[in-house]
Structure 1
């Protein structure tokens, strides 16, 4: 019996199809409890690899029969060894190729929207809760909040017969490393960011570009200033139909404004955003955020993370109807939650002040999303 090797894409399909899966995670307990592969119909057994060095006899009875079993570790080496041991015992298993590192880096592409003028794709980084987008108009493409895996966006644009001509970041990301500058360098596209975010490399500041229009088709991107998550956070209103909301509005809540240690001040900005700018936007506008907190509950029936603004207002009625003081108190309470690990170093890299090789970037990004944590009950 040959041990099977599954990719992160294979596991993603099982999540999307709500399949049953049993995961044997052989990482340390603290790593497993902090971050694991999550699926609606997944069950788990966490036994650190070092407890299995003398064999797998003690865990055989804890493994289900008649179910697919996936073994997961940090990089794949330990899971391969455990899979071989179980295979020798006649237990059919698979292991995750590349381990949790590959899970952290996988992008799942899905179509969000299409009309006679534009086509929109969402890239779901399932292991991190990060979302990025490609908007295609004729033979040009706009990339929104790209991850550092720039080749995937270039391949996606090529498949659409388009060149990447515009790249935008809604804010200076704190939980993952942006691919914006690298993608601009690779494609010759124009890169946009708020000047107030403090980047030291060349880019086009949104302060000087209230609108970005490309092609003669009416594909219009408005930079709607929405401070809150960071002082330079923006959202992008495309053709008055789609609101790419960055980390300002999520399907199940609002962005955390505490990463700059100015929680009350930035929460006040977020309140002004919600009760002035956002309140003017129609209920039927589709909101497409840059993060999500729970894949199973925020994935809609059309297969992407997003919802109409009206539905989001209803779901988060308390936050959209609160008084200023109640809003600030609620946000301040949420600020006690765990901040993204290594966020200060990630911000320095995204500003261009600091550099890191691929291995260091992988290490910095390992772990769950902790930007979409402010929810309203």
Structure 2
């Protein structure tokens, strides 16, 4: 039987720089739609499984020792690994394939915060998406921007004796299918989604958060305050935790700004984004930790394994220092690449206006995010 590796083990080995090579044996279109990428880049080859078996000895010779073989569900990669081992090559097959990789969530705690609040960042490497669990051990917690696979949030909450009291989506996401409505319904707790992102009406139970609303986590010292930051979408909110961490959604990233064109209002939302950045973010304490909903490259992951920055560092980006609104709008709008075709469909799903079959949702929920705009002036 071939040796195997789990999705979490692969993530950890990628983070440590210990992966010699990834041999992805999916079809070319599947590989291009969602290559396996982790905290650090690793040499990767895509050779469809049928070609591997057509030139088995040659492909075995080309493959590095201890390479990771990957397919969609783990069956094809296991067959390849078994054949390679018969030829004397030691490799490992990814258990569950890219299906398992796509579900993987890895929690990292953001430390150094005022007690008793704790914040965990959940990294989803398959999409470079970030979600959060914010809470007080022994009391209450909230889940922010959750994926469709809630077990890791619930397990961590149970580990620290916390009850999930709220589920929040900072905006209607376009790059991945949210698990927020289903999680809130499952737990019987309040769900919060900006109605402005849904044309004013949310067709499932929802209590919109208004600017300045507070979510109490159970201790008098701990408050999570909402802040309206339109720009990426009309209704985007951010959550300020204990005046120390800002869960900022897609407004700004470690290196980038949220693109304003995904709702068909690029210029208007670029102006909103300018105002959000300069009127709402700049006055905050420059030491505020910025915790975004995405990352774009492994260079944005710091030495502690987190995707965070400070507000002070955010404003080192050239475009964020542009004080003329018209110049800001022109530069950000003209720099935008075309959005993936699936984004309009994903927004309809996340706003409750479309309910495709589960297998179609699985397909929509694959592929890296493309939610960032440039921050450099030309």
Normalising by structure 2, report the TM-score.
0.92
CA shift in 2, pair 1:96/1:20, >3 Å = closer
Asked if the contact 2:141–2:217 (Cα under 8 Å) also holds between the matched residues in 1, the reply is: no
3-state secondary structure, aligned to 2:164: strand
Residue of structure 1 aligned with 2:290, choices 273, 287, 292: 287
| CA-CA distance at 1:211 after TM superposition | 2.5
**Range with greater deviation from structure 2 (69-78 or 350-359):** 350-359
Aligned-partner Cα distance in 2 for 1:254–1:6:
36
Verify the 8 A CA contact 2:127 2:369 in the aligned structure 1. yes
Aligned position for 2:54:
54
Q: Taking structure 1 as reference, are residues 142 and 18 closer, same or farther at Cα in structure 2, changes over 3 Å only?
A: same
Look up the SS of the partner of 1:270 in the other structure: helix
Decide whether aligned partners of structure 1 residues 34 and 148 sit closer, same or farther in structure 2, where only a CA change above 3 A counts. closer
> Equivalent residue for 1:218?
221
Pairwise CA RMSD of aligned residues? 1.9
Partner residue of 1:106 out of 104, 107, 110: 104
Moved more, 266-275 or 193-202: 193-202
How far residue 212 of structure 1 moved from its aligned partner, in angstroms, is 2.4
Q: Please say which of residues 22-31 and 123-132 is displaced more in the overlay.
A: 22-31
Q: 1: CA distance between counterparts of 2:280 and 2:318?
A: 17
CA distance in 1, matches of 2:334, 2:72: 33
Farther off after superposition, 355-364 or 79-88: 355-364
CA-CA distance at 1:31 after TM superposition = 3.5
Residue 26 of structure 1 is matched in structure 2 by: 25
Is the CA contact (8 Å cut-off) linking 2:231 and 2:258 kept in structure 1?
Answer: yes
Alignment correspondent of 2:157: 157
Moved more, 265-274 or 325-334: 325-334
Residues 59-93 of structure 1: CA distance to partner in whole angstroms, max 9, x if unpaired?
Answer: 233223xx420111222222122212212211111
Runs of 5+ unmatched residues, structure 2: none
Q: Which runs of 5+ in 1 are unaligned?
A: none
Distance 2:139 2:341 in 1: 39
Task: Determine helix, strand or coil for the equivalent of 1:13.
Answer: helix
C-alpha distance in 2 between matches for 1:239 and 1:83: 50
Alpha-carbon distance between aligned partners in 2 of 1:231 and 1:104, rounded to the nearest angstrom: 29
The secondary structure found in structure 1 opposite 2:238 is strand
- What CA distance in whole angstroms lies between the structure 2 residues aligned with 1:375 and 1:239? 28
Contact 1:212 1:220 in 2 (8 A): yes
Match of residue 117 from structure 1: 116
| Equivalent position of 2:16 in the other structure | 17
Match for 1:309 among 305, 308, 311? 311
- Of 98-107 and 365-374, deviating more is 365-374
Aligned residues: 371
Q: Note the C-alpha offset of 1:35.
A: 3.1
For the 8 Å contact 2:22–2:68, the answer to whether it is kept is: yes
CA distance in 1 between partners of 2:272 and 2:252 (Å): 13
d(CA) in 1 for partners of 2:95, 2:356: 24
For 1:159 and 1:60, locate their aligned partners in 2 and report how far apart those are by CA, in whole Å.
Answer: 44
Residues 213, 139 of structure 1: alpha-carbon distance in 2 compared, 3 angstrom cutoff? closer
| Alpha-carbon distance in 1 for matches of 2:101, 2:331 | 33
Distance 2:212 2:279 in 1: 21
> Is this contact kept in 2: 1:117–1:217, CA < 8 A?
no
Tell me the residue number matched to 2:364: 364
